[in-house]
């Protein structure tokens, strides 16, 4: 699953066409922060809330907001970013 998410992030968030090699955005916190930086550059406000077991990430756009709740922060960041760029 993480391999598909990493590919989607590379394509949809970073705009890479047919990425052969992509970062491990959904499992590596350093790579996930690149996603946060990219989203803020696209005029999204990203809010991260860490709870004892889960992390919830919100992406606020000009007209709507989305969120994702996952056990790992990198995965929550990726899912929220994908939902935001896909308009979900």
Domains of the chain, earliest start first? 2-86 (3.30.2120.10)
Strands (E) in 1-88, as ranges, are 45-50, 55-60, 65-70
Chain segment 46-83, per-residue pLDDT in tens = 999 999 999 999 999 988 899 999 999 999 999 999 99
Structure tokens at 79: 């899912």
pLDDT of residue 40: 93
Residue 88 — pLDDT band, cuts 50, 70, 90? low
**What is the spatial distance between Cα 49 and Cα 55, in angstroms, rounded to a whole number?**
6
């Amino acid at each position: 699953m993480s391999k598909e998410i990493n590919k989607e992030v590379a394509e949809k968030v970073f705009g890479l066409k047919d990425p052969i090699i992509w970062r491990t955005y959904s499992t590596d916190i350093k790579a996930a922060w690149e996603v946060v930086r990219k989203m803020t550059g696209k005029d999204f406000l990203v809010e991260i809330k860490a709870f004892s077991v889960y992390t919830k990430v919100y992406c606020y756009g000009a007209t709507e907001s989305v969120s994702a709740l996952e056990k790992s922060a990198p995965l929550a960041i990726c899912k929220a970013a994908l939902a935001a760029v896909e308009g979900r």
